[in-house]
Structure 1
């Protein structure tokens, strides 16, 4: 089945950025994809260093590889549904106030928008990508110097935008079929019917047609995608185990029974719920 799914590791980063910083920039390795989409008030950019990943961005599907540069705006719900074991990237987050100060010309005005029209994924040339990587590394190295870091974030943002504008445009690999997009949204909202036949009916396709299209366009089966969403909900509800029992959290997350939850959990996590709880309790609090 490939790498085990985890909502404890992988594509997770702390968006609690002190206001004086204006944003953050750091290099991360992504061991597992996100199970659910997310929004945050910062503009996000990813510069891929190695490996490949697949994003769902609204009703579009992007495949990223080395030297891909993608921009994720504050009102664009995005989700990484696939990542290779060697996937790594530079990740930048930029607060609206820093963007407003840095982008004073018409060329950069689009960066102040929350959800601009168009495609914002480009494939950089090798020399352009290495140059931008050097800028990012230099800014990240100044994280303990408030003035240099804040000013450097603006320079990194403008350098990335300049590289983007100079690169070849990259159209999305796939515009999601409207029925696939509806199925994704229903499952993520936890409003999808339990029966896949009923889900297909709400998406206005036969189950066989929806199942085939869904796998072709997302790389996941309907059941796999639904199970990942439910596991992510379980993780959010259960937290560190202080307020809900495992059974309560599993049922609230959408699982029909504890045996169903246990089977899916163990299959994806590589351990049972009890072992997961023990690992959580060993983690430092803070």
Structure 2
């Protein structure tokens, strides 16, 4: 799915910090170049047919021709997200060989590297300054261009984070289908992906890193968190609307996945 990003009018890009609020995103790509710098916690991305397990200080580039999705994130996951319109990328990169991948739709290779603590801290300070200048349009535009090149320079000297094995198309489709409807059972998923139930179940756990039932529960917790953040639903109402059959079931799953009960988690996020 091609997504139209909500970048303020007249801006050549945008920068913000993300933390896990339970929002569910579909598999997507967009015209803009993107990078994600992980601040804390851990997450799992699908980029094309590759899976990347990321953690603190990992810098991941996502190119316009790459379908991608953050399929899993820990309760404490947070990161910097920056997106850049093509015109800014072309102007900032200046046509040099070193920055050539930035101008491509889907360059060869893998673009996830782990930065050193000083590198990540310098970028974090730069991004803090840039956000503070968001009301000063000329300064913000110049800062975005500098942030793009600073991140690319840090990436160039980072430690490679190898991707996992290629994700089978049926596994990728199963993950996508579950994000659309997490009530789909194993038999239905197997029919729609063309694999036997046992093979799909085995491949999914091997390649995504979660059993199908655990992946389904993560999606439901994400929906619960989104409902609590965006509506006035009680914990019970949000749990039931997210797909849990009962509050005890929800509480048990939530504590296993998040490491604490929902009430304690809510207090920690205030």
Could you tell me the TM-score, scaled by structure 1's length?
0.68
Question: Cα offset for 1:182?
Answer: 4.6
- Say whether residues 1:176 and 2:155 are aligned partners: no
On the 8 A contact 2:41/2:77 being kept in 1, the answer is: yes
In the alignment, which residue of structure 2 is the partner of 1:211? 201
Deviation per CA, 1:85-139: give whole Å up to 9, x if none: 1111111111111111101112112111222221110000111111111221222
- Cα distance in 2 for partners of 1:22, 1:152 equals 11
**Alignment match of 2:47 (pick from 46, 51, 57):** 57
Change (3 A) 1:80 1:266: farther
* Partner secondary structure for residue 79 of structure 2: strand
Change (3 A) 1:31 1:205: same
On the 8 A contact 1:25/1:92 being kept in 2, the answer is: yes
In the alignment, which residue of structure 2 is the partner of 1:125? 116
On the 8 A contact 1:33/1:81 being kept in 2, the answer is: no
**Alignment match of 1:114 (pick from 105, 122, 141):** 105
- Cα distance in 2 for partners of 1:209, 1:58 equals 21
Q: What does residue range 154-193 of structure 1 map to in structure 2 within 5 Å?
A: 154-184=145-175
**Alignment match of 2:137 (pick from 146, 159, 164):** 146
* Partner secondary structure for residue 82 of structure 2: strand
- Say whether residues 1:264 and 2:246 are aligned partners: no
On the 8 A contact 2:38/2:55 being kept in 1, the answer is: yes
On the 8 A contact 2:26/2:176 being kept in 1, the answer is: no
In the alignment, which residue of structure 2 is the partner of 1:247? none
Question: Cα offset for 1:223?
Answer: 5.8
In the alignment, which residue of structure 1 is the partner of 2:22? 32
**Range with bigger deviation, 55-64 or 154-163:** 55-64
Any unmatched runs of 5+ in structure 1?
A: 1-13, 241-260, 271-286
- Cα distance in 2 for partners of 1:204, 1:197 equals 11
Change (3 A) 1:37 1:204: closer
Question: Cα offset for 1:225?
Answer: 5.4
Deviation per CA, 1:59-79: give whole Å up to 9, x if none: 111111110000111221211
Question: Cα offset for 1:221?
Answer: 4.1
In the alignment, which residue of structure 1 is the partner of 2:74? 84
**Range with bigger deviation, 217-226 or 161-170:** 217-226
Deviation per CA, 1:196-239: give whole Å up to 9, x if none: 4464356454311210221232244446657959x98xx9xxxx
Deviation per CA, 1:228-273: give whole Å up to 9, x if none: 59x98xx9xxxx9xxxxxxxxxxxxxxxxxxxx96826669x7xxx
Change (3 A) 1:171 1:71: same
On the 8 A contact 2:49/2:172 being kept in 1, the answer is: yes
In the alignment, which residue of structure 2 is the partner of 1:4? none
RMSD of equivalent CA atoms = 3.3
